Amino acid sequence: MAPDLPLNVRYLGCQSYLEAFEKMQTFTNERTADTPDELWVLEHEPVFTQGQAGKAEHLLGTGEIPVVQVDRGGQVTYHGPGQLVVYLLLDLKRNKLGVRDLVTLMEESVVSLLADYRVTAAAKPDAPGVYVDGDKICSLGLRVRKSRSFHGLALNIDMDLEPFLRINPCGYAGLQMTQLSNFAPSATKVEKIGAELVQYLANAIGYTTWHTIHGWDSE
């Protein structure tokens, strides 16, 4: 059954991580029981983000790329242009979702999207995310505050993967990262693929329609 309130899907292009992070926190802190859920579809300028459980030993040599400490779960990951980021700003109680439910629907939505590109992918029960032949293609990181979720997923589309060699991705030494364009060379348009993933995510949450917004303004 679709939720009573509308869903807003916000396409934001390439954003500074810190600006998006601050806006995400403000949205979550200020939302009320009547605030519509939002999905934010974007890319980030190059940045490493270190989650709450992050350990310095997983930063091998970050060079000129900044490292930002954040309040999501998980260890360290990299964001950069060519990577699809979707933040899920949801009222979990209103949507009758637990945290594990949300993780599962994110993983299953990404697996379904990749199948559309003839890429066979799977989740791992002991290591959140989505993998292709053991290589990681999508990372997850969430925070829930008063039953409201923020942060989300990062799906590698067509990006420079070299910065992942400067860290132990998600805290796993030697973990290899991969991306969609390695398997589907024509799959390079992040916003187009983002819109396709939104369809899976929104439907899995329970939405059949949504409002599309370009940029931060609501109008």
Q: Which of 20, 170, 177, 205 is catalytic?
A: 170
Structure tokens at 81: 């242009």
Q: 3-state SS of 126-140?
A: CEEEEEECCEEEEEE
CA gap 106, 142 in Å, rounded: 11
- Residue 54 identity (one-letter amino acid): G
CA gap 88, 165 in Å, rounded: 28
CA gap 82, 189 in Å, rounded: 8
CA gap 201, 107 in Å, rounded: 10
| Catalytic residue status for 170 | yes
CA gap 125, 97 in Å, rounded: 19
Closest to 40 measured CA to CA, from 13, 22, 77: 13
Which residues are designated catalytic? 170
